[in-house]
Amino acid sequence: MKLLIIGASGILGSKLYNDAINKKWNVMGTYCSHKHEGLFYLDVRDKSSLEKAFNIFEPEVVVMAGGITDVDLCTLKPKLAEDVNIKGTSDLVKKIKEYGSKLVYISTDYIFDGENGPYKENYKTNPINNYGRTKLEAENIIRTKLKDYLIVRTCQLYGVADRMLTNSAPAKNFAIKIIHNMQNNKKVYAADDLYSTPTYSGSLSDILIKLIDKKSKGVYHGAGAEFLSRYDYVSKITDVFKLDKSLIQRVKLKDLKLKAKRPEKGGLKTDKIRKEKICESYDCETGLALLKKELSNA
């Protein structure tokens, strides 16, 4: 299997890169701004870097785990979000067609409005922020232009990228920030009216490998098994990492004064991957315990 992972310096891409190598797949991984040993430079806005990766590697499967993933940044810099998440995906789709590769696109529960999550794959989409809108437009381009594609939506990822372990870039991940702040005796703020299905990056990597192996097509949800408020999620992090619970400040979403709107009842249902016997989803304690092991081995 010749697998190209765009965004292999990120939380998910980094995990998938290591897992695919352990499976003895032939893997090429890319970074954009955080240079990392063994990875190749690729910016989807730079057509020559896209062409070079396809020309050198001629991938059978391309996992698109890269892009602008910071939800507030997508609101603050809408052009950046459009250039990378929409136009970048459109240019990638052209290369996919030219080289006859299969695209696996990672999407999000933020394509839904958060009125009544967790959501099944076929629920009607209605993004309420720019991040969700750019991700949905990318999905629509893929659905219109390609026949052999896989769209895997995920939600509230937690994990650790290799570059975080070597301190070559700051931790952007919510769970890692919470752990870091609480270990340094800082208060953390957690909304009790913001719901999702937190997903361990290792579990999603496993789901992706199985879907690729089975040559699955279409839309799948790959997410954690538990539908939790942010407050309950942070409480679970505190339990697993043995942190001081009194540092958690229970707040409402509106108190956080975030730049972008959030789907309040987001999250994803994973009945499809379970029914098709692809994978069981992890509960939060299991995923967090694996994250703890990963961090202590590093």
Binding stretches for ligand NAP (CB under 6 A): 6-7, 9-13, 31-34, 42-45, 65-67, 69, 84, 88, 106, 108, 154-157, 161, 172
User: Which stretches of the chain are assigned E, i.e. beta strand?
Assistant: 2-6, 26-31, 40-41, 61-64, 102-108, 149-154, 157-158, 188-191, 195-196, 199-200, 218-221, 228-229, 248-251
Smallest distance from ligand NAP to CB 237, Å: 14
CB of 279 to ligand NAP, least distance (A): 17
Residue 6 has phi, psi (to 5 degrees) of -90, 125
What gap in Å lies between CA 80 and CA 86, rounded to an integer? 10
Q: Which is nearer to ligand NAP, 43 or 283 (CB)?
A: 43
CB nearer ligand NAP, residue 29 or residue 240: 29
The residues, ordered by sequence, that sit 6+ positions from 96 with a Cβ below 8 Å of its Cβ are: 62, 102, 103, 146
What are 3's two structure tokens? Answer: 């697998």
Quick one: 140 or 185, whose CB is closer to ligand NAP? 140
Give, as one character, the DSSP assignment of residue 247: G
- Nearer of residues 139 and 235 to ligand NAP, judged by Cβ: 139
H or E segment at 211? Answer: helix 201-213
The separation between CA 259 and the C-alpha centre of its own chain, rounded to angstroms, equals 20
When the beta carbons of 75 and 242 are compared against ligand NAP, the nearer one is 75
Question: By Cβ distance, which residue is nearest to ligand NAP?
Answer: 10
Cβ–Cβ under 8 Å, residues 62 and 4: yes
Shortest approach of ligand NAP to residue 246 CB, angstroms? Answer: 27
> From the CB of 36, what's the least distance to ligand NAP, in Å?
7
> Backbone dihedral region of 267: left (phi > 0), alpha (psi from -120 to 50 degrees) or beta?
left
| Cβ closest to ligand NAP, residue 159 vs residue 246 | 159
The distance of closest approach from Cβ of residue 67 to ligand NAP in the complex, given in angstroms and rounded to an integer, is 5
**From the CB of 204, what's the least distance to ligand NAP, in Å?**
8
